[in-house]
């Protein structure tokens, strides 16, 4: 088990280094001059040069890259060009709403998706299964900003159950302000959960150990809960871990629609302003979250399925 964990963590570290390099290269390849954007079109070349110097942008790229890595390693992240604030304080202000939104959205997808997937697998090929497939396909096809607006129209403007937009603190406040965007996010993720889990549940249902459990007289709920779900859940967890990357992208739009002061809207502003250090840091951090979640998914797999630990136990 330990050697498995060690190997897996090593892979994650390599991924993180590659990620930092890509984030740095891509933002510096992007067209446009960040200092001109900041100063406006009437800035003189001397002013541009002075600001570039003070921000360290005229240094060689390699030096800039190592400064960036140094900032990452010290978790200091440096200073934002445009916000007059340190990046670490900006991110710590904005991280909670985004993390809560993604967590809440994933929860919605699981709470809706797991029962739908199991129902679909048990009724495979029957009308109910087709109905579930159509529902998830439609929910997947809806862009989150559109489903978000429709939800806001129904539950906020018509029924007045929840706020239309904006964000308030505290547990109740967070739940109230994030419910609608989280449902929009969850619906977009639902198809992935249902499709993946339905097919793996079907596969497990056809195995001989499920047949053997039924032959023992175990009830269907027991067989599902104790044997099927445990064996079928891992592909879904892995797919979810990968999809969190897409969710981070999805929050950019949703946070704009619902006026949530999260990392998505911060990233949007940072790209608009060519705020290099901020964009780089956000890209590396969100990528880092994906790497971390994939690491956790793989470790969880080793916990759930003893065969994954095989290397350590020597068969």
Nearest Cα to 109, choosing from 34, 184, 159? 184
DSSP conformation class of 309: G
> Shortest gap between Cβ of 129 and another protein (angstroms)?
13
Q: Is 226 in the site for another protein (CB under 8 A)?
A: yes
Distance CA 208, CA 194 (A): 24
Distance CA 289, CA 79 (A): 22
Tell which positions 231-250 bind another protein, by CB under 8 A. Answer: 231
Strand, coil or helix: 112: helix
The residue behind tokens 């780089």 is 280
Q: Is 170 in the site for another protein (CB under 8 A)?
A: no
**Residue placing its CB nearer to another protein in the complex, 14 or 212:** 212
Q: Is 307 in the site for another protein (CB under 8 A)?
A: yes
DSSP 208-255: HHHHHHHHTT--HHHHIIIIIHHHHHHHHHHHHHHHHHHHHHHHHHHH
Residues 143, 175, 310, 311: which binds another protein (CB under 8 A)? 310
> Shortest gap between Cβ of 61 and another protein (angstroms)?
50
DSSP conformation class of 86: B
> Shortest gap between Cβ of 192 and another protein (angstroms)?
23
What x-and-dash track marks residues 287-306 binding another protein by CB under 8 A? -----------------xxx
Phi and psi based region of residue 85 (left: phi greater than 0; alpha: psi -120 to 50; beta: remaining): beta
- Residues ≥6 apart with Cβ < 8 Å to 294: 12, 238, 241, 242
Q: Is 18 in the site for another protein (CB under 8 A)?
A: no
**Residue placing its CB nearer to another protein in the complex, 150 or 212:** 212
Residue 160 Cα distances to 154, 172, 257, angstroms: 8, 16, 18
Q: Is 216 in the site for another protein (CB under 8 A)?
A: yes
Q: Is 218 in the site for another protein (CB under 8 A)?
A: yes
Length of the chain (residues): 315
Q: Is 227 in the site for another protein (CB under 8 A)?
A: yes
> Shortest gap between Cβ of 211 and another protein (angstroms)?
7
Q: Is 225 in the site for another protein (CB under 8 A)?
A: no
> Shortest gap between Cβ of 244 and another protein (angstroms)?
25
- Site for another protein (CB under 8 A): how many residues? 24
Q: Is 274 in the site for another protein (CB under 8 A)?
A: no
Q: Is 208 in the site for another protein (CB under 8 A)?
A: yes
Q: Is 198 in the site for another protein (CB under 8 A)?
A: no
Q: Is 212 in the site for another protein (CB under 8 A)?
A: yes
Phi and psi based region of residue 262 (left: phi greater than 0; alpha: psi -120 to 50; beta: remaining): beta
The residue behind tokens 């079109």 is 41
Per-residue b/e over 238-260, b at no fewer than 16 CB within 10 Å? bbbbebbbebbebbbbbbbbbeb
Q: Is 217 in the site for another protein (CB under 8 A)?
A: yes
Residues 230, 249, 259, 311: which binds another protein (CB under 8 A)? 230
Give the interface segment with another protein, choosing from 162-170, 175-183, 187-195, 222-230 (CB under 8 A): 222-230
Q: Which residues bind another protein (CB under 8 A)?
A: 207-209, 211-219, 222, 226-227, 230-231, 304-307, 310, 313, 315
């Amino acid at each position: 088990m330990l050697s498995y964990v060690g190997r897996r963590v090593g892979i994650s570290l390599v991924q993180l280094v590659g990620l930092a390099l890509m984030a740095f290269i891509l933002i510096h390849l992007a067209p446009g001059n960040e200092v001109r954007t900041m100063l406006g079109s009437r800035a003189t070349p001397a002013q541009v040069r002075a600001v570039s110097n003070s921000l360290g942008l005229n240094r060689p790229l390699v030096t800039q890259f190592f400064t960036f890595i140094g900032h990452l390693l010290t978790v200091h992240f440096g200073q934002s060009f445009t916000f007059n604030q340190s990046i670490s304080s900006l991110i710590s202000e904005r991280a909670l709403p985004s993390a809560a939104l993604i967590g809440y959205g994933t929860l919605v997808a699981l709470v809706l998706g797991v029962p739908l997937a199991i129902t679909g697998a048990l009724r495979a090929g029957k009308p109910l299964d087709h109905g579930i497939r159509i529902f998830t396909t439609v929910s997947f096809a809806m862009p989150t900003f559109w489903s978000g607006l429709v939800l806001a129209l129904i539950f906020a403007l018509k029924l007045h159950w929840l706020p239309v937009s904006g964000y308030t603190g505290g547990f109740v406040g967070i739940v109230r302000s994030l419910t609608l965007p989280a449902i929009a996010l969850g619906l977009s993720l639902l198809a992935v959960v249902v499709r993946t889990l339905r097919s793996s549940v079907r596969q497990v249902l056809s195995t001989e150990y499920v047949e053997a459990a039924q032959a023992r007289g175990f009830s269907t709920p027991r067989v599902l809960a104790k044997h099927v779900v445990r064996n079928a859940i891992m592909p879904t967890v892995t797919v979810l871990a990968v999809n969190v990357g897409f969710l981070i992208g999805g929050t950019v739009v949703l946070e704009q629609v619902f006026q949530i002061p999260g990392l998505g809207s911060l990233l949007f502003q940072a790209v608009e302003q060519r705020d290099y250090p901020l964009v780089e840091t956000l890209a590396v951090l969100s990528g880092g979250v994906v790497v971390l979640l994939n690491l956790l998914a793989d470790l969880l797999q080793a916990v759930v399925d003893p065969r994954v630990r095989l290397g350590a136990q020597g068969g």
